C-alpha cells in the first residue's frame, strides 16, 4: 500500500514538475538555453527507449543508435520527397519499428542472448554506419534526396502542423513539442509497465526459464519490447533531424550508441526517471566542458577541458561506486534518511512512555 502511495506521489510530482518546466522555460530562459534543452528532451526520449528494452526488458542493445539514425534518415529522405511532414513523421516511427521487429525476430527466435545480443546489435549499427558513410557519390539518392555520405543531409525541412505545409513549427514550437513528447513517452511507459505486459516482461528479465515454465513465450514478449523500443528511438531520431535540420552517419557511430548506454547507466537501470536525468546530465556536462576552451597551451587547463578524459572518469566512477545509478541510489539514501529519522523519533518517545508508566 505505502509503496503504491509513494508511487502515485512520485508520478504526480514528475507530472507537475514536467508541466511547469514545459510552460515556464520559454518564458524565463534565454532562447539558446531553450534550444539546448530541446535537444536534451529529444535525447531523453532516446534514453527512455533503451531504458525500456534494457532496464526492464533485460535486452542489452548496443545498437540503439541504429533505430535513432534510421528514424532521422527516414524523416529527412521522406521530407525532401514529400514536403509535408505528417507522413514522414509516421514513417520515421514505423520504419525503425519494422526494422527492430525484423532484427528482433532474427535474434530472439534464434535464442541469442546477453553478450551475443550486444555484439549483433553493435554490428548492425556499424554496418549502417559504414554503408551510409560511403554514399557521398551523386549516384546515391532516394527520390530527390541525396544521401550525402560522410557529410550527411543538411537543410532538412522542419515539421509542420499536420496537413498545412506553410505552418512550420518554429523553435519554441519544437521545444514544446519535444518536451510534451518526452512527458507523453514517460507516462506512456509507466502505463505500459504497470500493465500485464509490463509485469510479464519484468518477470522474464528476472527469470526467463521460470516465465517459460509458467507458459509465457519469452521470445514473443522480448520481440514486442524490442519493437516498441525501436519505434521510440526512431521517433527521437525524427525530432533530432528536426532540431538540427541535419543528419549525418555519425548518428550510427560507436560513440553515439555508447553514449546512450552511459545515460542509462549513470541514471540507473530499471528506472525511467533515471535515464532521463543521466541523459540530460551527461549531455549538459560535455557541452559545458566543450564550451570556453582555454585558448592557450596550459597543460592543466587542457586536462580539465579534455572532455573524453572527464567523461571516462565519470563512467568508471559510476560503475565502481554507484553501480545502481544515480536515481535508485539517491532513492535508497532518501529512504534511509526517513527510516533513521523515524527510528530517532521512536527512541525519543520511549522515555516519555517510561515516565507515564
Partner 1 sequence: MDLIALLAIQVLYAIASLALISVGLAIIFGMMRVINLAHGEFLMLGGYAAIVATSNGINIWIAILVVAPVVVGIIGVIVERTIIRFLYGRMIDTMLATWGLSLFLVGLTTAIFGNTTVGISAPLGSFQIGAYRTSGYTLFVIAVAAVTLGCIFATLRWTRLGLIARGTMQNADMAAALGVNPPRVYAITFGVGAALSGLAGAVLAPVSGVFPTIGVAYVAKSFITVIGGGAAILSGTVSAAALFGTINQIATFATTPVFGEVALLATAIVLIRLLPQGITGRFFRRGL
Partner 2 sequence: MKLNRRRFLQSTAAITVAGTLGSSAWAEDPINVASIHDLSGGLDIYGKPMVDTLTLAVEEANAAGGLLGRQIKLINYDTQSNMQLYTQFAQQAALKDKVAVVHGGITSASREVIRPVLDRFKTLYFYNTQYEGGVCDRNQFDTGVTPAQTVEKLVPYAMKKWGKKVYVVAADYNYGQITSQWVKKYVTENGGEVSSIDFFPLDVTNFGPTISKIQTAKPDFVWSALVGGAHISFYRQWAAAGMRQSIPMASTTFAVGNEHIVLSPDECNGMLVCYNYFQDLKNKTNEAFVAAFHKRFGADYPNVTELAMGTYQGFRLWAEAVKKAGSIDRMKVIEALETGISIDAPSGKVTIDPPTHHCVLDVHIAEVKDKKLNVLEDFAQQKPSDTAAVCNLIKNPNDNQQYVIKI
Partner 3 sequence: MAAPLLETRNLSMRFGGVQPVRSVNFSLAEGELRCLIGPNGAGKSTFFKMLTGQLVPSEGQVLFRGQDISHAYAHQIARLGIGIKTQVPSVFDGLSVRENIWLAANRIHSRERAGNVVDEMLERLGLTGVAERLVGQLAHGQRQWVELGIVLSTDPELILLDEPAAGMTYDEVHKTAQLVREINRSKALIVVEHDMQFIRMIAKQVTVFNQGCVLVEDAVENILRNPLVRDIYLGKQAAA
Binding site for partner 1 (CB under 8 A): 60, 106-107, 110-116, 118-120, 122-124, 126-127, 130-131, 133-134, 254-255, 258, 261-262, 265, 299, 302-303, 306-320, 323
If one asks whether residue 215 binds partner 2 (CB under 8 A), the answer comes out as no
Q: Which is nearer to partner 1, 245 or 306 (CB)?
A: 306
Spatial distance between the Cα atoms of 239 and 45, rounded to a whole number of angstroms: 10
Is the Cβ–Cβ distance between 11 and 190 less than 8 Å?
A: yes
Is the Cβ–Cβ distance between 83 and 144 less than 8 Å?
A: no
Shortest CB 167 distance to partner 1, Å: 41
If one asks whether residue 210 binds partner 3 (CB under 8 A), the answer comes out as yes
Count the neighbouring beta carbons within 10 Å of the beta carbon of residue 106: 13
If one asks whether residue 105 binds partner 3 (CB under 8 A), the answer comes out as no
Is the Cβ–Cβ distance between 318 and 266 less than 8 Å?
A: yes
If one asks whether residue 339 binds partner 3 (CB under 8 A), the answer comes out as no
- Which of partner 3, partner 1, partner 2, none sits in contact with 150, Cβ below 5 to 8 A by type? partner 2
Shortest CB 302 distance to partner 3, Å: 45
- Which of partner 1, partner 3, partner 2, none sits in contact with 180, Cβ below 5 to 8 A by type? none
If one asks whether residue 151 binds partner 2 (CB under 8 A), the answer comes out as yes
Spatial distance between the Cα atoms of 53 and 230, rounded to a whole number of angstroms: 9
Interface residue with partner 2 among 12, 308, 323, 334 (CB under 8 A) is 308
- Which of partner 1, partner 3, partner 2, none sits in contact with 196, Cβ below 5 to 8 A by type? partner 3
Is the Cβ–Cβ distance between 325 and 314 less than 8 Å?
A: no
If one asks whether residue 168 binds partner 2 (CB under 8 A), the answer comes out as no
Is the Cβ–Cβ distance between 103 and 124 less than 8 Å?
A: yes
If one asks whether residue 218 binds partner 3 (CB under 8 A), the answer comes out as yes
Backbone angles phi, psi at 145, to 5 degrees: -90, 115
- Which of partner 2, partner 3, partner 1, none sits in contact with 287, Cβ below 5 to 8 A by type? partner 2
If one asks whether residue 157 binds partner 2 (CB under 8 A), the answer comes out as no
Residue range at the interface with partner 2 (CB under 8 A); choices 45-53, 106-114, 149-157, 222-230: 149-157
Which pairs count as long-range contacts for 202-207, CB under 8 Å and 24+ apart, including other chains? 202/56, 204/57, 204/58, 205/56, 205/57, 205/58
Spatial distance between the Cα atoms of 106 and 103, rounded to a whole number of angstroms: 5
3-state secondary structure of 356: helix
- Which of partner 2, partner 3, partner 1, none sits in contact with 3, Cβ below 5 to 8 A by type? partner 3
Q: Which is nearer to partner 2, 33 or 164 (CB)?
A: 33
DSSP code for 160: B
Spatial distance between the Cα atoms of 21 and 275, rounded to a whole number of angstroms: 18
Q: What is the largest CA-CA distance in the chain?
A: 93
Shortest CB 131 distance to partner 1, Å: 6
- Which of partner 2, partner 3, partner 1, none sits in contact with 198, Cβ below 5 to 8 A by type? none
Compute the half-sphere exposure of residue 24: CA atoms within 13 Å on the CB side of its CA: 6
Which grid coordinates are listed for 108? 530472439
The footprint of partner 2 (CB under 8 A) covers: 30-33, 35-36, 39, 130, 133-134, 136-138, 148-152, 154-155, 243-246, 248, 250, 255, 286-287, 289-297, 305-308
Amino acid at each position: 500500500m505505502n509503496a503504491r502511495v509513494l508511487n502515485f506521489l512520485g508520478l504526480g510530482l514528475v507530472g507537475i514538475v514536467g508541466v511547469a518546466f514545459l510552460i515556464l522555460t520559454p518564458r524565463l530562459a534565454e532562447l539558446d538555453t531553450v534550444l539546448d534543452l530541446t535537444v536534451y528532451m529529444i535525447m531523453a526520449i532516446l534514453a527512455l527507449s533503451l531504458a525500456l528494452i534494457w532496464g526492464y526488458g533485460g535486452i542489452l542493445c548496443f545498437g540503439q543508435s541504429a533505430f535513432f539514425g534510421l528514424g532521422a534518415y527516414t524523416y529527412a529522405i521522406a521530407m525532401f520527397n514529400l514536403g509535408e511532414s505528417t507522413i514522414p513523421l509516421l514513417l520515421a516511427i514505423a520504419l525503425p519499428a519494422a526494422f527492430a521487429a525484423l532484427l528482433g525476430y532474427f535474434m530472439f527466435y534464434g535464442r541469442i542472448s546477453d553478450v551475443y545480443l550486444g555484439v549483433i546489435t553493435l554490428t548492425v549499427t556499424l554496418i549502417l554506419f559504414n554503408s551510409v558513410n560511403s554514399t557521398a557519390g551523386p549516384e546515391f539518392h532516394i527520390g530527390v534526396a541525396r544521401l550525402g555520405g560522410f557529410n550527411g543531409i543538411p537543410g532538412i525541412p522542419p515539421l509542420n502542423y499536420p496537413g498545412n505545409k506553410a505552418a512550420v513549427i518554429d523553435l519554441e514550437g519544437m521545444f514544446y513539442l519535444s518536451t510534451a513528447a518526452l512527458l507523453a513517452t514517460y507516462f506512456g511507459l509507466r502505463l505500459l509497465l504497470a500493465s500485464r505486459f509490463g509485469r510479464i516482461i519484468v518477470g522474464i528479465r528476472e527469470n526467463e526459464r521460470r516465465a517459460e515454465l509458467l507458459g509465457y513465450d519469452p521470445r514473443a514478449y522480448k520481440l514486442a519490447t524490442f519493437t516498441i523500443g525501436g519505434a521510440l528511438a526512431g521517433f527521437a531520431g525524427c525530432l533530432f533531424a528536426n532540431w538540427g535540420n541535419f543528419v549525418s552517419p555519425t548518428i550510427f557511430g560507436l560513440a553515439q550508441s555508447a553514449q546512450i548506454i552511459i545515460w542509462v547507466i549513470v541514471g540507473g537501470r530499471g528506472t525511467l526517471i533515471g535515464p532521463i536525468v543521466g541523459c540530460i546530465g551527461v549531455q549538459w556536462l560535455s557541452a559545458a566542458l566543450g564550451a570556453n576552451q582555454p585558448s592557450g597551451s596550459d597543460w592543466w587547463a587542457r586536462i580539465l577541458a579534455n572532455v573524453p578524459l572527464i567523461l571516462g572518469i565519470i563512467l568508471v566512477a559510476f560503475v565502481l561506486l554507484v553501480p545502481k545509478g544515480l536515481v535508485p541510489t539517491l532513492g535508497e539514501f532518501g529512504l534511509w534518511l526517513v527510516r533513521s529519522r523515524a527510528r530517532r523519533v521512536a527512541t525519543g518517545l520511549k522515555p516519555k512512555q517510561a515516565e507515564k508508566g
